[in-house]
Amino acid sequence: MRYAFLLVALLCGPAFADRQTFPPVDEAADDPSLVAFRDALLAQVAARDIEAVVASACPDIYLSHGGEGGPAELRANLILDPETLSEEYRDDADATREQYWTDLENTLSQPGYFDEEGEFWMPHQWQITLPASLDPSLAFFVTGQDVSLRQQPIRGAPILGLISHEVVIIRTFQDAAEYQRVLLTDGTQGYMHRDFLWPMTGHRAAIVKSDSGNWQLCTFVSGD
C-alpha cells in the first residue's frame, strides 16, 4: 500500500484525525494488454469456466495465508467438492462455492493500481496504509460516491452526511444487519448500508506480467 492514512488514536484517544477521501482511479487503462486480459478473465469468471480461469493463473498463485497455493488449490476452490469439507459444512458447499466465484468477479471488477514492481492490484483502496495502532479488521472502505450516513439503521432515517470513498471504523460488524454502525475518522457516528462497505482485510487480487510477457492472475486472497 502506498497512500498513508493519517489516523490519530481513533479507538483509544480523545483526538481525531481529519477525514480523507481516496477517489478511485483505475490505472488499468495505462496498458491496453492488461485491459484485454482482465476483460477476458472476467468473461471466463462470469461463465464459470473453471479450466479457463485456472489456465490464467500463475504457477504459484497465492490464495490463502498458510495454504500451498498454485493452480490445483485454485481449481479446488472453484469446484469445492462437498466431500472435501467437514460434515457440518457440506450442506453449505453450493452457497460457499458461488460466493467464491462472486468474490472473484467483484474483486476483478474493481479499479486498481500498479505497484512499484509493475504488478496490478485490485481494489484500488488496498494501497492505503492503515496506522499500526488500528486493528485492520475494524477498518472498512466506503466504495460509493455520496453514500448516506443515517441517524438510525433504517432506510429513510435522517441523513447526517454524504460519504465518499473514505475509511470508516466498524467496531462490531453485524452479519445479519442491513445497516452497520460506523465511526468516521473525525468522530462522527452513524449508520451506513453494508453494500457500500468493503473490509480493508477483504479480497484483493493481483495481475502480473510473466517473463514471457503474458499477464497472469497471481494473487486472490483475503485477510490481513
pLDDT tens digits, residue range 24-68?
Answer: 999 999 999 999 999 999 999 999 999 999 999 999 999 998 878
Which pLDDT value is given to residue 3? 62
73, pLDDT greater than 90: yes
105, pLDDT greater than 80: yes
pTM of the model: 0.88
Same-domain check for residues 163 and 182: yes
Same-domain check for residues 105 and 31: yes
171 or 87, greater pLDDT? 171
What are the CA-CA distances from residue 176 to residues 103, 112, 179, 202 (Å)? Answer: 19, 30, 9, 18
Question: Containing domain of residue 72, as a range?
Answer: 27-125+202-221
Which pLDDT value is given to residue 15? 43
The CATH number linked to 109 is 3.10.450
In total, how many domains does the chain have?
2
Same-domain check for residues 49 and 107: yes
Domain-embedded: residue 167: yes
Q: How much is the mean pLDDT over the chain?
A: 91
User: Pairing state of beta strands 167-169 and 3-4?
Assistant: unpaired
Which pLDDT value is given to residue 96? 94
Same-domain check for residues 90 and 72: yes
Whole-angstrom distance, CA of residue 206 vs CA of residue 208: 6
Domain-embedded: residue 13: no
Domain-embedded: residue 155: yes
The CATH number linked to 191 is 2.30.30.40
Same-domain check for residues 32 and 118: yes
Same-domain check for residues 50 and 83: yes
